[in-house]
Each structure stands twice: as C-alpha cells, then as structure tokens.
Amino acid sequence: MWPFRRREHAPAYTDIEPQEAHRRVVKGAVLVDVRQPSELNALRIREAVNVPLAELETYAAGLDSTTPVMLICASGNRSRKAAKRLADLGFIDLSNVRGGVNAWRRAGLPLER
C-alpha cells in the first residue's frame, strides 16, 4: 500500500517583522490595527487604520479581496486571528506583524502617544 502523508495547508497569511511592515507602510500599504480604541491611547501607529476585531468583517466588505493588508495588535495574537478571518473571506495578500505594537516599539519604529 502506498504510504500517504497528511498535507498541511499553507498558511493563509505570512508573518512579517515590524521593520518590513514599516517599510511597506512608508510605500502606502494598508496597516489595520485590530486593538480596541481605548488601547490606542497608550501607543498608536499614525498610518494604521483602527478596526477593532469585532468590526473586521464590516470593514473588509469595503475592500477588494486582492488588496494587500497587514494586521497588527498589541502582541500579534488578535492580528493572527484577524488574518485567518480575512483569509476565510477570500483575501489573498495578508500579513501579520509578528509581535505587534510591542515589537514595533522595541524596534524603535515611529509611534504616537
């Protein structure tokens, strides 16, 4: 009998480092911060669009599914969930910023308080 191996599905998004996300933002890429508005009071990325995770599907309905979208949160957990949700909606160019805003700050990238 031929041995079958279970194929793992390729991730529907890629993880990128904050430096790469910043490079893309400078070139005009969409960065979506899925934190709650109250979390933005501490630190926020000026170019990021704030779309709380609970409102993601509504926001996505206004985007072309081929639009490159980067997602960020505080640590990378909620943005990973957001990337999976957008992939399920048919988005094809998704990135999760590894480590979130915390990693962005540690990398010394621009933030507003």
Structure tokens at 85: 């949700």
Instruction: Name which of 23, 24, 83, 88 is nearest 53 in CA terms.
Output: 83
Distance (Å, rounded) from C-alpha 75 to C-alpha 65? 25
What sign has the CA pseudo-torsion 87, 52, 29, 79?
A: negative
Distance (Å, rounded) from C-alpha 13 to C-alpha 94? 5
Which residues are tagged catalytic? 73
